Amino acid sequence: MTTRENTPIALDEALASFDALWSPRIVTRVNDYDVRVAKVEGDHVWHVHDDTDEFFLVVDGELTIALREPAGERDVVLPRGSVFTVSRGTWHKPRSPKGASILLLEPTGTPTVGDHHDDVPDHVDATTGHALAQWHP
């Protein structure tokens, strides 16, 4: 994948370039990591990443991440501008009843539904990310 080297990327423009929900677009790469943006609404799927943490930044709206931890389940609510890292090996399920735009940082090739997951509903794109068409013909 070729990125727009030495050119700033406006996140609002990147997010405006697609409509699909739960279908992240790769904005750029940093070393061996993808910087992805996604529009989300409703529920994702319970899943876990065995070997990597997952970084979330809420660009707009509000995101809730349900976590399954040894002490039980809990919700982490992330308003606009908040960041949170889900530790590797932690089952989690992002959701946003009213919709949100998020930025994710994950190793290149990390599947959106993790290494283990519940059944993937039709509205969730099981992918390792898509290129932004306007910048990656």
Of 134 and 68, the one with more pLDDT: 68
Residue 32 maps to which CATH number? Answer: 2.60.120.10
Pull the structure tokens for residue 24: 């992240």
Distances (CA, A) of 14 to 2, 46, 73, 121, 126: 15, 27, 34, 25, 20
pTM score > 0.85 for this model?
A: yes
Domain containing residue 98: 11-131
pLDDT-derived band at 36 (thresholds 50, 70, 90) equals very high
Of 62 and 3, the one with more pLDDT: 62
Mean pLDDT of 78-82: 98
Mean pLDDT of 104-133: 91
Mean pLDDT of 47-74: 97
In a domain, 3, yes or no: no
Sequence-distant (6+) residues with CB within 8 A of 10 are none
In a domain, 2, yes or no: no
Question: For the chain, how many structural domains are there in total?
Answer: 1
